[in-house]
């Protein structure tokens, strides 16, 4: 473990930005078929090379005439013209309009020689069995004729460089007959994930060997595409120097930029470091930013290189902060106006490490500007990806952000849309069904106790709590009851009948954490049991094997029972039935949805209230 690199000389973030700009990404032009040009950026000006229309064109169904033959004509005194023929759209006229004659013409057809106006069919009458026509109006030359080049003329400027092509520009290019469009090439970005433990989603996972699914490859590939680049995934590289060199060299040969990502292991970083130094040049290693200290910037002979941190949220933040802009500029794509959001801090946040911090925040609508609240579950948590909406950059001199202070949030991607409603509190299966009816809700199942606390701080729109009391400030939106107890194996082979079995027998139990409303219910039941036995709760607890083994998630105790590693778990009837397990009922518990009293008018909250009123209750053990 002696070869580990220390990142002693951290450079300021500006130098990292400059180093990445110095890599000179992009600027190439490629031709793409018009049909595939949507959202691409025009690389060059396009001037018209032909007239549109390319001929004098009838713009009405009717008759092509010499205008002077209709001078003075009107309803009372129509002009009489002999029919010399007909011209349809898409045909070359085979008729010449001489004095006193006309030709039937359809919209879009070529004006026949000699004609200089079209009379609409409604102002005419056929005569002599279709051999002639009477014109009941007087025409001027050019009436209902679109002259060649009237729409666009050859040589005219049609579209300038830098335009991102939408339906309308593709329409104009179609009119000009352009079928290959010169557009800014998408920078090719190779993504090399490192780490022997990584498995691509869809492949079999061996947890016993410490395998985990590779999060960064697809996350960063998607983020590259969001920035206008083309992502190329390379196979995982382990910590082996030769393999890493082969994969990085291949990616560098094929791509404009190579991103390594995925490994949290120092030895893999060491190997990359050596490969870059030997096959290219390392421009900087280590940036004074949190997270992202171990960021690398370098170049291979024909490709740029950036090494991202291993933790998914850190990797995405560093990508978004340092790399996305360079890809966008290389692709000629402007940052959409939806990519940043002005917000105000929901709570105060202290920080004092003396380096720039990229702080992941969630957003919650609050009437005017949204509130931003810090999300920091540790950067190893992939759930932070969806619990935060973007990043606030906090500069090194800022030790304190006050509640209400203005901040700019760079969304994780321009397509991110913050939730319409944000709730916290107890996990519950009926709640989960209710949330399905809402538009992009965010719910953090942090337990009833934490839910109450956070609601009191005023950040979330609602909290889900259990039991009665408190919350004088909040407004109850609705409630239901749920049956809780002990989840046991199917058929209850141990014949467990209640809490006394846990206390008196040698059973392996799995509990929920103290923040959970279920745990509160269990504690109260134990108090009652202790009272009835004349013992203290502490004495009873000491007799329960696993009482302190608190599984964070609602179904986890039941799943421990299902996989045979426990005899009983604290849980709900609904969970037991869902997992085909047995259930020993202990009691019913009331679950209440409490709204932030300041947000009752918020559309998301109104939608939740409606969902609460209308949702059918079809879960085992759940009642209204």
Among 32, 34, 403, 529, binds a copy of itself (CB under 8 A): 34
- Told to check if 156 binds a copy of itself by CB under 8 A, we report yes
Buried b / exposed e over 295-327, threshold 16 CB at 10 Å, is: bbbbbbeebbbbbbbbbbbbbbbbbbbbbbebb
Q: How far is the C-alpha of 232 from the C-alpha of 211, rounded, in Å?
A: 23
The residue among 5 and 274 lying less far from a copy of itself, judged by its C-beta, is: 5
User: Which residues are 51's β-sheet partners?
Assistant: none
The residue behind tokens 């059973």 is: 507
The residue among 342 and 380 lying less far from a copy of itself, judged by its C-beta, is: 380
The residue behind tokens 């109104």 is: 606
Q: Token pair of 540, please?
A: 């009873």
Site residues (CB under 8 A) for a copy of itself, limited to 182-201: 195-201
User: Which residues are 364's β-sheet partners?
Assistant: 371
In sequence order, the 6+-apart residues with CB closer than 8 A to the CB of 535 are: none
Site residues (CB under 8 A) for a copy of itself, limited to 537-576: 551-556, 558-559, 575
DSSP state, residue 511? B
Q: How far is the C-alpha of 438 from the C-alpha of 433, rounded, in Å?
A: 10
The residue among 330 and 499 lying less far from a copy of itself, judged by its C-beta, is: 330
Q: Token pair of 97, please?
A: 């309009």
Site residues (CB under 8 A) for a copy of itself, limited to 343-372: none
Give the nearest distance from C-beta 404 to a copy of itself in angstroms: 25
Positive or negative CA dihedral for 118, 123, 126, 127? negative
Give the nearest distance from C-beta 525 to a copy of itself in angstroms: 23
Give the nearest distance from C-beta 576 to a copy of itself in angstroms: 12
Q: How many helices (H) and strands (E) does the chain have?
A: 16, 36
Among 27, 80, 106, 489, binds a copy of itself (CB under 8 A): 106
Q: How far is the C-alpha of 262 from the C-alpha of 310, rounded, in Å?
A: 5
- Told to check if 154 binds a copy of itself by CB under 8 A, we report yes
Tell me the Ramachandran region of residue 253: left when phi exceeds 0, alpha when psi lies from -120 to 50, beta otherwise: alpha
E strand or H helix at 600: none
Site residues (CB under 8 A) for a copy of itself, limited to 307-346: 310, 312, 316, 334, 336-338
- Told to check if 533 binds a copy of itself by CB under 8 A, we report no
Among 11, 103, 109, 486, binds a copy of itself (CB under 8 A): 109
- The phi and psi torsions of 209 (rounded to 5 degrees) equal -95, 5
Site residues (CB under 8 A) for a copy of itself, limited to 219-258: 219-223, 225-226, 233, 238
Q: How far is the C-alpha of 231 from the C-alpha of 233, rounded, in Å?
A: 6
Q: Token pair of 339, please?
A: 């990519």
Among 417, 490, 497, 531, binds a copy of itself (CB under 8 A): 417
Question: Of 45, 52, 35, 48, whose CA–CA distance to 180 is shortest?
Answer: 35
Give the nearest distance from C-beta 507 to a copy of itself in angstroms: 22
Q: How far is the C-alpha of 310 from the C-alpha of 263, rounded, in Å?
A: 5
Among 32, 120, 132, 170, binds a copy of itself (CB under 8 A): 170
Give the nearest distance from C-beta 399 to a copy of itself in angstroms: 25
Compute CA distances 124 → 1, 74, 80, 108, 118, whole Å: 97, 10, 10, 19, 11
Give the nearest distance from C-beta 442 to a copy of itself in angstroms: 9
Site residues (CB under 8 A) for a copy of itself, limited to 47-66: 47, 50-55, 57, 59, 61
Among 349, 427, 461, 515, binds a copy of itself (CB under 8 A): 427
Cα atoms in the Cβ-side hemisphere of radius 13 Å centred on 534: 0
Site residues (CB under 8 A) for a copy of itself, limited to 71-90: 87-90
The residue among 162 and 498 lying less far from a copy of itself, judged by its C-beta, is: 162
Compute CA distances 197 → 219, 248, 275, whole Å: 17, 19, 21
Stretch that binds a copy of itself, among 435-443, 589-597, 603-611, 614-622 (CB under 8 A): 435-443
- Told to check if 460 binds a copy of itself by CB under 8 A, we report no
Among 412, 422, 484, 547, binds a copy of itself (CB under 8 A): 412
The residue among 15 and 151 lying less far from a copy of itself, judged by its C-beta, is: 151
Q: How far is the C-alpha of 416 from the C-alpha of 412, rounded, in Å?
A: 7
Site residues (CB under 8 A) for a copy of itself, limited to 385-404: 385-386
- Told to check if 140 binds a copy of itself by CB under 8 A, we report no
Site residues (CB under 8 A) for a copy of itself, limited to 492-521: none
Among 137, 138, 249, 264, binds a copy of itself (CB under 8 A): 264
Give the nearest distance from C-beta 134 to a copy of itself in angstroms: 14
Stretch that binds a copy of itself, among 76-84, 166-174, 470-478, 507-515 (CB under 8 A): 166-174
Give the nearest distance from C-beta 77 to a copy of itself in angstroms: 23
Site residues (CB under 8 A) for a copy of itself, limited to 279-298: none
Q: Is the peptide bond before 474 cis (omega within 30 degrees of 0)?
A: no
DSSP 381-419: -TTHHHH--EEEEE-TT--EE-TT-EEEEEESSTT----
The residue among 540 and 558 lying less far from a copy of itself, judged by its C-beta, is: 558
Among 120, 266, 403, 607, binds a copy of itself (CB under 8 A): 266
The residue among 121 and 347 lying less far from a copy of itself, judged by its C-beta, is: 121
């Amino acid at each position: 473990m002696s070869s580990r690199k220390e990142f002693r000389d951290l450079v300021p973030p500006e130098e990292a930005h400059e180093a990445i700009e110095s890599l000179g990404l992009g600027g190439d032009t490629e031709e793409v078929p018009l049909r595939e040009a949507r959202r691409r950026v025009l690389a060059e000006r396009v001037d018209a090379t032909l007239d549109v229309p390319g001929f004098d064109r009838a713009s009405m169904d009717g008759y092509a005439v010499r205008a002077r033959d209709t001078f003075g004509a009107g309803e009372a005194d129509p002009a009489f013209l002999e029919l010399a023929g007909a011209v349809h759209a898409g045909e070359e006229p085979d008729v010449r309009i001489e004095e006193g004659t006309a030709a039937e013409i359809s919209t879009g057809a070529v004006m026949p020689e000699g004609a200089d106006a079209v009379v609409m069919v409604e102002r005419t009458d056929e005569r002599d069995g279709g051999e002639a026509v009477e014109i009941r109006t007087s025409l001027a030359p050019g009436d209902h004729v679109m002259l060649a080049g009237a729409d666009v003329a050859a040589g005219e400027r049609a579209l300038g460089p830098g335009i991102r092509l939408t339906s309308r520009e593709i329409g104009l290019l179609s009119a000009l007959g352009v079928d290959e469009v010169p557009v800014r090439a998408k920078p090719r970005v190779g993504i090399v994930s490192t780490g022997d433990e990584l498995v691509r989603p869809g492949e079999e996972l061996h947890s016993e060997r410490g395998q985990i699914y590779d999060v960064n490859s697809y996350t960063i590939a998607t983020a590259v595409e969001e920035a206008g680049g083309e992502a190329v995934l390379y196979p995982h590289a382990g910590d082996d120097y030769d393999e890493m060199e082969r994969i990085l060299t291949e990616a560098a040969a094929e791509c404009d930029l190579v991103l390594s990502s995925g490994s949290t292991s120092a030895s893999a970083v060491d190997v990359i470091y050596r490969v870059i130094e030997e096959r290219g040049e390392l421009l900087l290693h280590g940036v004074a930013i949190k997270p992202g200290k171990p960021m690398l910037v370098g170049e291979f002979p024909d490709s740029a290189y950036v090494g991202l941190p291993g933790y998914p949220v850190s990797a995405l933040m560093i990508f978004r902060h340092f790399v996305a802009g360079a890809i966008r500029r290389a692709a000629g794509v402007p940052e959409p106006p939806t990519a940043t959001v002005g917000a105000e801090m929901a709570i105060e946040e202290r920080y004092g490490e003396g380096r720039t911090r990229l702080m992941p925040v969630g957003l919650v609508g609050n009437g005017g500007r949204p509130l931003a609240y810090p999300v920091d579950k540790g950067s190893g948590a992939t759930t932070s990806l969806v619990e935060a909406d973007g990043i606030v950059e906090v500069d090194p001199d800022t030790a304190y952000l006050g509640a209400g202070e203005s901040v700019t949030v760079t969304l994780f991607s321009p397509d991110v849309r913050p939730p319409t409603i944000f709730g916290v509190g107890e996990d519950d299966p009926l709640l989960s069904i209710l949330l399905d009816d809402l538009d992009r809700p965010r719910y953090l199942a942090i337990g009833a106790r934490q839910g109450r606390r956070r609601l009191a701080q005023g950040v979330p729109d609602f909290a889900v709590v259990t039991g009665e009391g408190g919350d004088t400030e909040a407004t109850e939106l609705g409630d239901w009851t749920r049956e809780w107890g002990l989840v046991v194996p199917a058929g209850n082979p141990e014949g467990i009948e209640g809490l006394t079995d846990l206390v008196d027998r040698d059973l392996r139990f799995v509990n929920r954490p103290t923040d959970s409303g279920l745990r509160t219910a269990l504690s109260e039941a134990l108090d009652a049991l202790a009272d009835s036995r004349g013992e203290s709760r502490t004495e009873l607890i000491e007799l329960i094997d696993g009482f302190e083994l608190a599984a964070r998630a609602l179904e986890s105790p039941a799943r421990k029972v299902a996989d045979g590693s426990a005899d009983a778990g604290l849980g709900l009837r609904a969970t037991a039935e869902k997992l085909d397990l047995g259930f020993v009922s202990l009691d019913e518990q009331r679950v209440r949805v409490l709204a932030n009293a300041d947000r009752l008018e918020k559309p998301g909250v109104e939608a939740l209230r409606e969902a609460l009123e209308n949702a059918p209750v079809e879960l085992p053990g759940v009642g209204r």
